Structures are given as C-alpha cells and as structure tokens.
C-alpha cells in the first residue's frame, strides 16, 4: 500500500532546536567582540541511529539522503504462510533465525522483498546537525520513525514542517528576504548617514570599489546618536564582499562620500494575519509599533531583542507567548523556543541561570498547551518538566522556600527589590509552577500514546511511557505542595501593617515593592480581601517606586485589568508606550524612564547605547488591547472555542481580526458606533455584550444594534 504522508527530514528529537539555539545564542557581537551566552548550553547529538520496522505485502524501494556520514542497514525476514505458522514447526524456527542483512550507501536505491523489514540509518556529523531524508512510496521518513543515541532507549524522531525538501539541510535556516532602500541619505561631518523608515534585522548591501570596501567600517545604530558616535556605537563591521552580517539597523554611518546602500531585511514567515484599527490614532500607532517590534524579535525563536542580546531568555519568551496568541498564532515557534530553552537532562543550573526563569518555563508550557491544544507536545515535554521542577525542589531551605545558591540569579525585575533570604516573588512563582505541574499532569492521565504501538516488539530498546498511576501520584503530590506553600507565603510574607506582601522576612526591612504584590495577584496567592488592599496600598500608591521596564508593566497592567480598572490600563498604555513614540521610537524599548532625556535615554547597564530599542517584552500592548479591550479569550468549555466581551465604551469605531487558537481560526469585529458585526472563521464562541450572551456558530455573522435602537439583533449565516 502506498504511503500518502509526505516525507520530511528527521533527526534526534530536540536536536534541531538545540543546534539552532547554539547558533542564536552565540550570535551576539559587541563592538567587534563575540559574546556567546554565559549559561550552560546543551548540544545536539553528533551520532545517531534512525530506524523503523515495516511489514511489506509487496516489493518496494526507497532512497536515503543524509546530512552527515554513515550508511543504511536493512534487515529482511521472510513471512511464513498462515498454514505454516506452527510454534513447533522446525522450518519456521530455522527461517526465523535466518535473516538477510545488507548495507547501502546514502543516495543508493534500495529494493526490498515482501516480509518484515527493519531500516536503520546510521548517520554522524561533527560540525552540524545530523539528519536523514527517506524517499519512497511505502518506506519514507514520515511519522513512526524512532531515534537512538546509542545510550538511552529510543524515542520518536524529530521533524519540522520547515524541512520537507530532500535538497535542504536542516542545519541551515533559509530566511525570507526583502531589499529596502533608505528613505534619507545625509552627508554629515566625516561621512554619510543612511536612514531607514523603521528598524530592521538586515544585512547592509554596499556597492563600492574593492579598495574602498577594504578600508571601510560600517556603524549601524538603533538611533541617530548611536550611528554617529563611532567610539561608542554598539556594532561596527568591515563588510565582506560588500555585505555586513545581519544586524539591527535603523541608521548607518559610513565614512566618506555617499554610496549605493540598501538593507536586505531577513525574517521568518509566520502565519498570523491579525490587524487592529480604531478611532484613536495613538492607540493604532501603539498597536502597529508593538506588532512590528514583536515580529522583529520572532525569528526561529522568540529572542529578547535584535541588537543586544539576541539571546533566548525564558522570561522574555513567557510574555511572548501571550502576544503570539493574538498576533502570529504560531505554534511552531513556541515549541522551538521551549525546547531550545529547556536543553538536555540532567538539570544542573537554572534556565538562563535565573531562578524565576526556570519556573516561568513551566508556566510557558501551560500557555502553549492552552493556546495550541498541543497534548502531543505536553507528553513529549513532561519528563523534562518533571526533572526541572525536581531540580528546583532540591534547592529548598529548611522552611521549604526556594533560595538562590552559588551561580543562581534572583532576578524578578530591574528594580530595588529586597532579595535577602528567600524572595517572596520566587515562592509565589514556585507555588504557581507546582499547581501548573499538577494541572498538566492530570491532563495526561489515561493518555497512552507516547510510543508507536508496534515499537514494543522492536529488536531495539524503546523508552517506556509513564503509567497512569504515576501521573496521578505526581499530580497529587504537586498540588499538595502548592497548597502548603501558599499557606506559608501568607504566614511569612503578608504584612497587615502595610496591607501588602513584603519582599523578604529575613532582612527585617518590610520592604514593599510593586513587583512582589503584582506576582501575588497574578499567581493567585492573594485572596479577595488582600487583592483590594494591594490595589489601594500598592498599585494606586505613588509612594511605592514605579515600574520602569515594559517587562513588569506587562504584569502590572494585566493585574489591573483583571481587577477591572481598564481606564487606568488604557491611560498607562497611552502614557508609557505613547511616551516612547513621543521620543521618536519606531520600535519599543527594553526600558523607558520618562525623566531621562538626550542620549542618556539610550544607555543601560552603565553602557553608552547599551539599551535595546527593539525588545520583545515591550510588545505587550498587543496582548492587553486584544485580551481586555477587544475582550477575546480562549474558552475552557469544549463546546465553544472563545469568549468575546468587547468593551465598546472605549471605541467609536473599530475594525479588527484576531486569531482563535493556532489552527487558522479567527474572529472579526466591525463597529461604527451604532452597529457591531462579529463574524467567525473556523470557530464558534460566546459573545457577551450589554449583559446579554449570544452564541455564534462556526463561519457565521452576528449583527448587534446599539441600545439606542432597542438592542435589536439579527443572525446571518455567511456562505463560503
């Protein structure tokens, strides 16, 4: 029977992500010096075996292509007629012992006769990712192949929808390209300044004589001031063959007279087609710039920024999952990012060396499963989730609190937080991680599809799945620990005197920060009474130091929105992100302090121009607008896909389309101040408006008249 599934490149699972993560995390350059990421890096397997067993009813042939050195091993066993299948049949015993085994070179056409056939591909590659591609009508590299590293038991092989052509090399990611000319060329003292309309991830293409190129240094900058300061400009390159490496560029200074210069914008195509437009030009601009910022930071992985660091950080990625849900709706980039961050077992350090980032990785898996409904990924990742949480459990003090040890970084935020002893924020995240582990593990009970069903009879050892009893026992344990820790957090960190949670009980300072109390709201530690006290004593208290990073503005505004204070959320979005636009921002920044002006506003970490002016964690207005003002959330009801509760009092006009899940579904809204039209594509949901709840079916449209016209409603089917 012909196999209808398309073949693809296959490799040892997670190796594609680990290989490209190494390249990504080693790509940072600062003023001519390479700066690889300073945390433990997991690597790919350099020698693997890929194999699968078939029972053929008729002859067939196939060809193996590989990236690396090795060979194909084919083991054939003849099938017996049913009449001869007797356990005491001497002929059957003899024939079972006799096997035909052959070896073949890559690229050779291999023919197989009917019977049981085991195909084993041995491939090794030192310098890059080893992989194989099997082309054939029946035997091909589709689902069902297993991977072996000659040490552990075999596991299902890895693959990607981006690598389905036998001419490809999975070690090379082919980016899309677009050539963009500068909008302004200006002669300045000492040379020429080139300016583009917005910031890009681009190679600069320079048309100049070989003599001039050999002496040239190019200074790309995120700001005009940076590009015109060769001494402190973060990046500078000598172009090879008239081309610079791919870098962050909005401006570029090149000494000498003007030249023909273009930016070759390099990017990864993502599936999202979301858009947003309303009657407020500032809000439209904030959405557009946030979306552009996010796309620039979304390549193979979610990275922090495009100039510095270009690394994959767990905390940045966690927030990116919320923006991705409403913009790109790309499940693949989420999977790649999670696998790249987690690395291999055994766990010996926190992710990115940061305690809170290990816990946020677990929470990010939950967000991915929620958005993509990706139970296959959950099954695949659960063993690594378990080993990571167990690593964290091994770093608890005598009170059961998570503490920083040598080489651990207790981050939370760039702010004055009392981190002496166990920090409150870390305990809140640990409680949330335990609760998440319990919830996700409970989802896996009764699921028995980890390993292909025919693998149990394999001549090679195959990794066994987790039993249902083990899942239930683990879920119960983690749930109990979450409950116990929440009680201890209240006992040790809640202060009736301040009406808030303090950062640390060890120092005796009783320091109150916005960050700790926002985490108490976000993780569900605070009960209803404490939520109200935190809102008054912390969130609305100007004596508590303000948040200066978009990173924690995300958490702060999300918490305010959950408390129902949408007016304050909207005003902060306009003031904070609008404030960056007022400074000429074309992408949103890593940090913004309205009190700092001039070139000093581009400095960070004590470094001139050290601040990233295109940072993923600054893209949260997309999430905040879509989630709370458009009012779109994913439904937990299996009968519906979404809940839509638009806050029309904030708009006079509205035109937007947002994704629902990650399978191409979407919901669209059109509002002209009197009539709201909602239409769906590949999804169904509930609309809540003016205290009414309406069901909208798959591929349907609802027209809602305003209260001035008597709240009349009609439902129209849309024919496709």
> What are the pLDDT digits (tens) for 347-365?
999 999 999 999 999 999 9
CB burial class (10 A; 0-12, 13-18, 19+) of residue 716? exposed
> What are the pLDDT digits (tens) for 53-62?
999 999 999 9
Name the H helices within 625-678.
Answer: none
Asked if residue 95 has pLDDT above 70, the reply is: no
Asked if residue 190 has pLDDT above 70, the reply is: yes
Percentage of the chain with pLDDT > 70? 92
* pLDDT at residue number 237: 96
Residue 306 DSSP SS3: coil
Mean pLDDT score of the chain, rounded to an integer? 92
Q: How far apart are CA 628 and CA 630, in angstroms?
A: 6
Residue 465's CB: how many other CB atoms inside 10 A? 17
Residue 452 DSSP SS3: coil
Q: How far apart are CA 685 and CA 682, in angstroms?
A: 11
* pLDDT at residue number 97: 45
How much is the average pLDDT of 606-612?
Answer: 95
Give the CA angle between residues 648, 654, 660 to the nearest 5°: 90
CA distances from 558 to 104, 428, 575, 619, 671 (A): 59, 17, 16, 13, 25
Residue 454 confidence class, pLDDT cut points 50, 70, 90: very low
Q: Which two tokens stand for residue 378?
A: 């959950």
Residue 311 confidence class, pLDDT cut points 50, 70, 90: very high
Identify the weakest region by mean pLDDT among 80-89, 246-255, 363-372, 629-638.
Answer: 80-89
Q: How far apart are CA 410 and CA 426, in angstroms?
A: 8
How much is the average pLDDT of 429-442?
Answer: 98
Residue 78 confidence class, pLDDT cut points 50, 70, 90: confident
Domains in the chain: ranges and CATH = 15-156 (2.60.120.260), 176-267 (2.60.120.260), 468-546 (no CATH), 630-717 (2.60.420.10)
> What are the pLDDT digits (tens) for 235-273?
999 999 999 999 999 999 999 999 999 999 999 999 888
Q: Which two tokens stand for residue 307?
A: 């100039």
How much is the average pLDDT of 454-482?
Answer: 79
Instruction: Report strand pairing: 685-689 vs 115-124.
Output: unpaired
* pLDDT at residue number 82: 52
Comparison of pLDDT for 624 and 2, the residue scoring more: 624
Instruction: Determine if the pTM surpasses 0.75.
Output: yes
Residue 382's CB: how many other CB atoms inside 10 A? 21
How much is the average pLDDT of 475-499?
Answer: 97
* pLDDT at residue number 719: 40
Residue 638 confidence class, pLDDT cut points 50, 70, 90: confident
Residue 212's CB: how many other CB atoms inside 10 A? 15
Return the exposure string of 653-674: e unless at least 16 CB atoms fall within 10 Å of the residue's CB, then b.
ebbbebbbbbeebbbebbbeee
Phi, psi of 550 (to 5 degrees): -60, -25
How much is the average pLDDT of 653-665?
Answer: 97
Residues facing 103 on adjacent strands: 73
Asked if residue 191 has pLDDT above 60, the reply is: yes
């Amino acid at each position: 029977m012909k196999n209808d599934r398309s073949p693809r490149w296959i490799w040892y699972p997670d190796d594609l992500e680990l290989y490209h993560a190494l390249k990504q995390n080693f790509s940072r350059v600062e003023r001519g010096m390479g700066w690889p990421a300073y945390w433990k890096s997991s690597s790919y397997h350099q020698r693997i075996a890929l194999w699968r067993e078939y029972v053929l009813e008729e002859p067939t042939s196939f060809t193996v292509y590989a990236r690396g050195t090795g060979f194909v091993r084919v083991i054939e066993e003849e099938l017996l007629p049913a009449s001869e299948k007797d356990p005491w049949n001497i002929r059957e015993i003899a024939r079972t012992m006799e096997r035909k085994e052959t070896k073949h070179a890559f690229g050779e056409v291999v023919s197989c006769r009917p019977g049981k056939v085991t195909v084993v591909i041995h491939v090794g590659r030192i310098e890059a990712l080893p992989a194989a591609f099997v082309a054939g009508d029946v035997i091909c590299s589709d689902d069902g192949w297993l991977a072996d590293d000659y040490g552990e038991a075999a596991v299902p092989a890895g693959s990607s929808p981006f690598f389905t052509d036998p001419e490809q090399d999975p070690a090379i990611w082919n980016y899309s390209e677009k050539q963009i000319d500068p909008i302004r060329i200006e002669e300045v003292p000492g040379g020429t300044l080139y300016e583009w309309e917005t910031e890009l991830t681009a190679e600069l293409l320079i048309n100049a004589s070989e003599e001039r190129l050999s002496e040239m240094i190019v200074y790309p900058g995120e700001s005009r001031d940076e590009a015109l300061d060769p001494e402190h400009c973060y990046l500078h390159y000598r172009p090879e063959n008239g081309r610079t490496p791919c870098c962050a560029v909005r401006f570029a200074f090149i000494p000498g007279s003007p030249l023909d210069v273009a930016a070759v914008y390099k990017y990864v195509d993502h599936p999202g087609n979301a858009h947003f437009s309303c009657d407020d030009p500032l809000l439209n601009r904030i959405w557009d710039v946030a979306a552009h910022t996010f796309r620039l930071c979304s390549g193979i992985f979610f990275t922090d920024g495009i100039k510095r660091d270009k690394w994959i950080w767990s905390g940045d990625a966690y927030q990116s999952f919320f923006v991705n849900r409403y913009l790109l709706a790309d499940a693949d980039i989420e999977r790649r990012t999670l696998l790249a961050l987690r690395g291999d077992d055994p766990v010996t350090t926190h992710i990115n060396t940061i305690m809170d980032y290990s816990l946020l990785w677990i929470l990010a898996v939950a967000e991915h499963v929620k958005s993509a409904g990706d139970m296959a990924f959950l099954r695949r990742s659960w063993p690594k989730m378990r080993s990571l949480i167990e690593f964290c459990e091994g770093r608890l003090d005598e009170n059961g609190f998570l503490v920083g040890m040598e080489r651990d970084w207790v981050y939370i935020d760039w702010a004055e937080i009392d981190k002496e002893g166990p920090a409150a924020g870390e305990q809140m995240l640990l409680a949330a991680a335990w609760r998440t582990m319990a919830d996700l593990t409970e989802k896996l009970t009764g699921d028995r599809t980890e390993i292909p069903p025919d693998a149990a009879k394999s001549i090679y050892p195959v990794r066994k799945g987790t039993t249902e009893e083990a899942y239930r026992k683990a879920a119960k344990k983690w749930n109990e620990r979450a409950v116990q820790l929440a009680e201890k957090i209240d006992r040790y960190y809640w202060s009736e005197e301040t009406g808030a949670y303090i950062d640390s009980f060890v120092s005796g300072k009783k320091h109150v920060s916005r960050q700790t109390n926002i985490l108490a709201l976000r993780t569900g530690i605070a009960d209803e009474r404490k939520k109200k006290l935190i809102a008054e004593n912390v969130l609305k208290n100007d004596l508590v130091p303000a948040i200066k990073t978009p990173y924690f503005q995300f958490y702060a505004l999300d918490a305010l929105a959950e408390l129902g204070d949408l007016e304050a959320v909207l005003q902060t979005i306009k003031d904070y992100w609008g404030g960056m636009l007022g400074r000429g921002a074309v992408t949103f920044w890593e940090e913004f302090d309205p009190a700092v002006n001039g070139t000093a506003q581009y400095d960070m970490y004590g470094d001139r121009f050290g601040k990233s002016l295109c940072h993923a964690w600054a893209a949260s207005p997309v999430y905040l607008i879509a989630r709370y003002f458009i009012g779109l959330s994913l439904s937990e009801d299996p009968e519906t896909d979404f809940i839509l509760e638009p806050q029309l009092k904030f708009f006079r006009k509205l035109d937007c389309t947002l994704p629902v899940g990650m399978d191409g579904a979407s919901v669209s809204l059109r509002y002209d101040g009197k009539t709201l039209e909602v239409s769906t594509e590949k999804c169904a949901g509930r609309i809540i408006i003016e205290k009414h709840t309406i069901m909208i079916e798959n591929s349907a449209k609802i027209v809602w008249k305003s209260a001035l016209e008597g709240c009349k409603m009609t439902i129209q089917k849309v024919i496709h």
